[in-house]
Structures are given as C-alpha cells and as structure tokens.
Amino acid sequence: MGVDIGSISTKAVVIDQKNKILAETYLWTEGNPIAAVKKVLKEIEKQLKNKSVEIVSVGTTGSARQLIGTILSATLVKNEITAHAVGTLTYHPDVHTIFEIGGQDSKIIIIDNGVVVDYAMNTLCAAGTGAFLSAQARRLDIPVEEFGGFALKAQKPAKIAGRCTVFAESDLIHKANMGYLKQDIIAGLCNSIVNNYLNNVGKGKNIQPPIVFQGGVSKNVGVVKSFENIVGQKIHVDKIGHLMGCLGIAILARETGKEVVFNFNLNSFDFHTAGEECGGCPNNCEVVCVFQGDEFIDGWGNRCPAGIERVKHKLTQKN
Amino acid sequence: MPKQNNNKFKACFPHMGNYHVAFKSIAKLLDCEIITPPPISKKTIELGCKYSPEFVCIPFKYNLGNYIEALEKGANVIVQAGGGCRFGFYGEVQKEILKSLGYKFEFFKLNNSFNPFVIAKEFQKFNRRATIPFLLRGFALAFCQALAIEKIEDYVRKNIGFEKKEGEMEKLFNSFLMELDKINNFTQIYKTYNKFKINFHKIKTKKPKKPIRVGLVGELYVVMEPFSNFEIEKKLGKKGVEIHRFTTVSNIITSFLFSRKHVKRLMSDAKPYLKYHIGGHGLESVANAHKLARQGFDGLIHVKPFGCMPEINAMTALHRISQDYQFPIVYFSFDSLTSESGVATRLEAFYDMLIMKRKKYAKNQRIHGGGHRLHFHQSRSH
C-alpha cells in the first residue's frame, strides 16, 4: 500500500506484484492529515472487503510522510520526487519529462533512459500552484472543476503577470474591472501559470517529449492546453495522474523486501500529536511528539539527541 | 576617543561556523577581555530579524543577532571583517541600528584595504603595543588556527558518511576545537593539529572505492555557517556522500592577498561561462562548478541567502554548466525560515537521484565499457 499525504489531498493505493491497482482513494486532507488517513484507510478497507488481500508493506510520501509513516509503522518513508518518478515510469517507461503541479509545490523531473537525471522544485513561494488557482476561482465565482473548461472557450487570452501571485492577482482584478471577458481572463491566468512554471522550475532544464503532466492542476484542461501551446509538444495527462506518487511509493515499499503485515484496526486507536519547546538551550527546538493513547511513539524536530528525551519527559509528566 | 585603560574594553565578534577560535585570536590583539557570543540559535535570528531591514540578506541578520547577544553579555567593542559584496557596508548600518537601540560600544572594522599602517593605527587606538610585527604575528596565528580547523573539517566532510561507529568523528572534532581554543603559539597549533589528524585517521571507516562526490558552492556565509544552511553538509554527508567545499576563511584571505593571480586562475576555470568578475563570490561559484563538472563529480549544491545578487548572477552560468555537462545542480535559497522539511525533501530527492544515476552508469559501463567517461568527453566538446 502506498499513501501520499499532500497539503491539499490524501491519496492511497493498494497494488499487487504486477502493479495492478486493487484499491484506490482520493480525498481532501483538510489540514488534518491524521483524520484524512483514517478516512482513507476506512475506504480502502471497504474496497478490499471481498478480496482476500493482505497488505504486507506500507510506504508513505508527501509533505506529511513522516507523521503518517510513524502512525502506520511504514516500511518506507520517502520524498515525493522519487516516488513520482518511479510511479510514472511504470506507466510510461519512455517518459522524458514529468511536470508536476500540486497544491503547494511544483516540480519538474527529467528522466533519461528510465533514470532521474535532473529535478527542480519551486523554492520559497507557492506562485502558480493549485492553491493559487483555487483562490482565484473563488474570486471569479467559478468552481475549480469548471475552471479549465472556461479557459478553452477563450478567444483572446488576457495578458496577466506571472512572476508573483500578488502581481497576478492585482492584474487580474484590474482586467476584470476593465471589462475583459471572464474566459479570457481565465485563459490568461492559465498562460501565466505555465510561464511562471517554465521560468522558475523549468528554467535551464532540457524539456524533451514525451512529457507527462501530473498533480492536481493537471486536471485543469485550460492549463494543459496552455502548456501545449507554449511548449509546443503533446502533453500526456493520465486518468490516474493524481495517484502516481502513492503508486511509486507502494512500488518502492514492496521493493524493500521487508514484510510487516498491516492491520486495519489502527482506526480504533486514538493518535494525537503534541508540540513542545525543548528549553534545553537558547535554540529552543520545537519538538513534535506522536502519541498513541498515552504511549509515546516517536518525535522529531530536535537538533541534538537530548532534545527528544527532554520533551518526552515534559509531555508525559503533563499527561 | 577611547582611553588607554584597556581593561575597560570587552571585545566580541560575530559567529561563523567553527571559526570563533580563530576570530578570538584576532580580537585578542586589541588586548582586552573577549566575550564570545552565545552559539547561534533561534533566538539569535529572531533578534536579528526584529531589528534588521526586511529585505537585507540573511548574514546581516545573523551578525546583528550575534552582536545584540554579545552586547547583552557585556561586550563594548565589536570586531567585524569586511566583505566583497554589499556585506562590506553592513558594518556601518549595523552600527547605526545598534546605536539607535541604545547600546554603547566601539565598532572596530577590519577594512578591505591591506595597508599595514592603516590597520596598525586602527589597532593602536585600543592597544598601544600593537606594532606591525605584533599584529602580523597575531594575524598569522589566527590564520594558522583557521587552517588547522579547515583541514580537519575537510577530512570530516569527506568521511563522516562512512564511519563505522556513528558519532565518533563529531565527538573527536569537538574535543579538537576545545583544545585549539586554549593554545596560542605556532608550535602548539602544529602539534595539536598533527595529534588530531592521526586520531581522525584512526577512526575506522568503510568507504567504497568510488564514493559519491558532491561539491558545495555559493555565498560564503551561508556555505560556512551550518546553522544558516540547516547543516546541509552534515545531513548529506551522513547519507554516505563525500562533500567537497572550497570556500574557507583561509581561502578567502589568500585570495585577497594574491588577488590578481587568484582571479586569473578562476577566470580560466570559469571560461567560457564567464568573461568578467560578477561580484561577491559569484566567480568562485562558477569556476568551481565548472572544475567539478569536468572532474566528473556526481553533483553540486549551490546555496545563497535569498536575494544575493552575485550568486543570482552566477546561477545563470550554472544552469548552462548543468546543461552542457549533464551535471545535476540543486539550488537552495536561505532566509530566516526555521522549517527544515523543505530542504530535507529536496536533499533526499537529490541523493536518490545521484544513487539512481550511479546505478545506471554502472550498468552502462558493463555494457559499453566506460559509459560515464564517454558521456563526459562528448559533453566537453560543447
């Protein structure tokens, strides 16, 4: 089983030896990864009810991978870049470029003969990611799901600054007030996202076909079309593009060879986290501890080994 | 003008990596009590950010935090070195900020000019006995200490990922710093260095014949201060990577002293990507990156404070090098963020990629006989 806990959505798949997907789910994280994973597990359990399947290995990826990895006692916890590359390669062995735009980050992965040779990830800011798109969709009062369709109707896309979301937003408001058509503005927004992506993340990268586009934003046909126009290549978007990360981590977890039978009754346990500043030195590391009931499982955030013990002691005393 | 009663003065200096030992030796030349600021911590950067202009780069904020913490501890003289970029002017701004905060202190800045008479005069304001030979000896001593630290650090960087019993090197390194801190003559430095060199070599390692080699280049402060770069060296090194770094204090000093020769050598290394100096350490970054790409290194890490002009200039050239040599480079920008997860994710992915690449070339080599080299010569003809 592979679980991908992103900033916006949580995804999970169960695969067999031949990479066939036996069960899959996709739902919103809603800022609470633990609750989201519990829901995901319930869903997966339901889908597997009538099949005699035993989960022998769990991998986690995405921004909450460490937390969820601890709770699920995962055999493998790995970053989403590697996971995405591995997942995509099973479906497109000849892929050369992977574009990925998710909720809070965007990345590009360059693959040569089935091996990752280069990658880049957006740096500090979240310009041109899914979070920005959905914020603008709300502003224009259009559901995110229909956003792409609107863009396709555009005749003359408006020019919208792509460097920074703050600039883009003021440009967008200005254009709207000037009386531009909604679809033109939206198409312009899609173009600006693509330009932003290619100039920041894709800068200096050798973009060659075949290109696969993934992540939540890939569901937006408007952005896909903008990519095709600007890059001048066919862009592949998979139906299961959003599952590539968890698929990859599932494969990687299987390949570790470690087998720990996974138990669904985890759902009945109460997990909670507690953060505390260590206070052992002026650095004051913020250490986060995960508890199952009252029992300490794991913690992180400390810069020295003494920190975790201190915080553990503090927190257990409080309880 | 300060009076000649030297006992009144308490000097402090900013932190940078493990160099406090050497910086202390320079501050000692003022013949007054030395106050070492507390090690850089979150509190340092919070203080620094609070009183700094928002858009200034991160070394400014760290230094200012160091000064405030030291002044709180009772220091009243601040010693600061110059720099090649706008860092050279930071001292003036920091002086004004600290003064407006109500601190009373003397600001002692080592100028970029290497005129011994000017420097001696500056020192004599504080220390009457600061003749030129006295200062020369002092600077040479600090230089030797820095050199000893760097040599040992270099060994640690290249081997920490391969030690058989984890943590041994860090422990030994700390005791090395403690011992070096106590001594103040050349023979003792030499002896201590040699003793520890032997001890370090005694630590058992399990290094493969061809370990993964990664270079680290970029803006000097962020490269050298592990707190500011989330201990990038240690984190990557511990995964089993040999890390090569060229920016060191002794390197910077020699490049100042023999500037013309140094620039000439860098220029030839940076060709054809750069034709002239781009400020700060940008030229160094490009020259070293090109050198490492030609030497067949596995990858490169480029770090800079957010908004660092010279390094942004260098990045454009680095993109080209990366393309021409199929040389993976990962870029990091640091500011006052304290969340490490973003850096950790990118580093982990970088490491995974290097491992995957290695495996592929190992396969190619078996089939074609030397795939890696072949590739490398092809790209060289660009």
| pLDDT at res. B20 | 86
B356 CB within 8 Å of a chain A CB = yes
The C-alpha R_g of chain A, in whole angstroms, comes to: 22
Distance in angstroms (rounded) separating the CA atoms of residues B254 and B269 = 18
Distance in angstroms (rounded) separating the CA atoms of residues A215 and A205 = 19
pLDDT average, residue stretch A218-227? 87
| pLDDT at res. A150 | 83
B333/A78 CB distance under 8 A: no
| pLDDT at res. B370 | 39
Peptide bond into B14 cis (omega under 30): no
ipTM entry: 0.77
Q: What angle do CA B265, B271, B277 make, to 5 degrees?
A: 65
Picking from A283, A280, A240, the residue whose alpha carbon sits closest to that of residue A26 is A240
- Residues ≥6 apart with Cβ < 8 Å to A179: none
pLDDT exceeds cutoff 50 at B339? yes
Picking from B333, B334, B319, B250, the residue whose alpha carbon sits closest to that of residue B289 is B319
B326 CB within 8 Å of a chain A CB = yes
Tell me, what amino acid is at B211? P
Q: If you average pLDDT over every residue of chain B, what do you get? A: 84
B357/A206 CB distance under 8 A: no
| pLDDT at res. B67 | 92
DSSP type of residue B107:
E
A206/B335 CB distance under 8 A: no
Kindly report, residue by residue over B33-51, the tens digit of the pLDDT. Answer: 888 888 888 888 889 999 9
Substitution target from A65, A82, A281 for chain B, most B beta carbons within 10 A: A82
- Contact predicate B21/B42, CB 8 Å: no
For residue B252, the surrounding DSSP H or E stretch is helix B249-257
| pLDDT at res. B253 | 81
Substitution target from B62, B306, B353 for chain A, most A beta carbons within 10 A: B353
Distance in angstroms (rounded) separating the CA atoms of residues A285 and A274 = 14
B359 CB within 8 Å of a chain A CB = yes
Within 285-324 of B, beta carbons closer than 8 Å to A belong to 306, 319-320, 322-323
pLDDT exceeds cutoff 60 at B358? yes
Distance in angstroms (rounded) separating the CA atoms of residues B235 and B232 = 5
B349/A203 CB distance under 8 A: no
Query: How many residues does the structure list for chain B?
Result: 382
- Contact predicate A298/A287, CB 8 Å: no
Sort out which chain A residues have CB atoms less than 8 A from B41's CB and list them: 281-284
CB-nearest partner of A123 from B323, B333, B356: B333
B168-182 helix and B132-159 helix, angle to the nearest 10 degrees: 170
- Tell me what percent of the residues of chain B surpass a pLDDT of 90: 20
| pLDDT at res. B302 | 93
Which residues of A make CB contacts under 8 Å with B? 63, 78-82, 113-121, 123-124, 203-204, 206, 281-285, 303
Q: Count Cβ–Cβ pairs < 8 Å, chain A vs chain B.
A: 77
| Greater model confidence, A262 or B192 | B192
DSSP type of residue B163:
B
pLDDT average, residue stretch A97-121? 85
Sort out which chain A residues have CB atoms less than 8 A from B319's CB and list them: 203-204
> Which pTM does this prediction carry?
0.82
| pLDDT at res. B70 | 92
| pLDDT at res. B7 | 58
Kindly report, residue by residue over A192-212, the tens digit of the pLDDT. Answer: 888 888 888 887 788 888 899
Kindly report, residue by residue over B57-93, the tens digit of the pLDDT. Answer: 888 999 999 999 999 988 888 888 776 677 778 888 8
Q: What angle do CA A249, A250, A252 make, to 5 degrees?
A: 60
B337 CB within 8 Å of a chain A CB = yes
For residue B214, the surrounding DSSP H or E stretch is strand B212-218
φ/ψ of A254, rounded to 5, equals -65, -40
| Nearest chain B alpha carbon to A81 | B349
pLDDT exceeds cutoff 90 at B161? no
B323/A284 CB distance under 8 A: no
Distance in angstroms (rounded) separating the CA atoms of residues A236 and A257 = 32
A283/B41 CB distance under 8 A: yes
pLDDT average, residue stretch B110-126? 76
| pLDDT at res. B365 | 62
Q: Are strands B33-34 and B241-245 parallel, antiparallel or unpaired?
A: unpaired
Picking from B48, B49, B47, B346, the residue whose alpha carbon sits closest to that of residue A124 is B346
Picking from B162, B153, B152, the residue whose alpha carbon sits closest to that of residue B211 is B162
As beta bridge partners, residue B301 has: B216, B330
A2-85+246-267 belongs to which homologous superfamily?
Answer: ATPase, nucleotide binding domain (3.30.420.40)
- Contact predicate B71/B44, CB 8 Å: no
Neighbours of B151 (CB within 10 A): 16
Within 203-262 of B, beta carbons closer than 8 Å to A belong to 231
What is the CATH T-level fold of the domain A93-237, as seen in this structure? Answer: Nucleotidyltransferase; domain 5 (3.30.420)
pLDDT exceeds cutoff 90 at A288? no
B43/A204 CB distance under 8 A: no
B326/A117 CB distance under 8 A: yes
A115/B357 CB distance under 8 A: yes
The C-alpha R_g of chain B, in whole angstroms, comes to: 22
CB-nearest partner of A282 from B38, B332, B346: B38
- Contact predicate A37/A16, CB 8 Å: no
> A2-85+246-267 with A93-237: one CATH topology?
yes
> What would the 3-class secondary structure string for chain A be?
CEEEECCCEEEEEEECCCCCEEEEEEEECCCCHHHHHHHHHHHHHHHCCCCCCCCCCCEEECCCHHHHHHHCCCCEECCHHHHHHHHHHHHCCCCCEEEEECCCCEEEEEEECCEEEEEEECCCCCCCCHHHHHHHHHHCCCCHHHHHHHHHCCCCCCCCCCCCHHHHHHHHHHHHHHCCCHHHHHHHHHHHHHHHHHHHCCCCCCCCCCEEEECHHHHCHHHHHHHHHHHCCCEECCCCHHHHHHHHHHHHHHHCCCCCCCCHHHHHCCEEEEEEECCCCCCCCEEEEEEECCEEEEEECCCCHHHHHHHHHHHHHHC
| pLDDT at res. A91 | 85
3-state secondary structure of B242: strand
Q: Are strands B106-109 and B77-80 parallel, antiparallel or unpaired?
A: parallel
- Contact predicate A1/A12, CB 8 Å: yes
Picking from A99, A81, A130, the residue whose alpha carbon sits closest to that of residue A245 is A81
CB-nearest partner of A204 from B43, B322, B353: B322
pLDDT exceeds cutoff 50 at B342? yes
Kindly report, residue by residue over A292-314, the tens digit of the pLDDT. Answer: 777 777 777 777 777 777 777 77
B353 CB within 8 Å of a chain A CB = yes
CB-nearest partner of A204 from B319, B337, B348: B319
A63/B341 CB distance under 8 A: yes
Domain edges within chain A: 2-85+246-267, 93-237, 271-318
| Nearest chain A alpha carbon to B328 | A118
- Contact predicate B135/B213, CB 8 Å: no
Q: Which residues of A156-190 are buried (b: 16+ CB within 10 A; e: fewer)?
A: ebbebbbeebeebbebbeebeeeebbebbbbbbbb
| Nearest chain A alpha carbon to B315 | A204
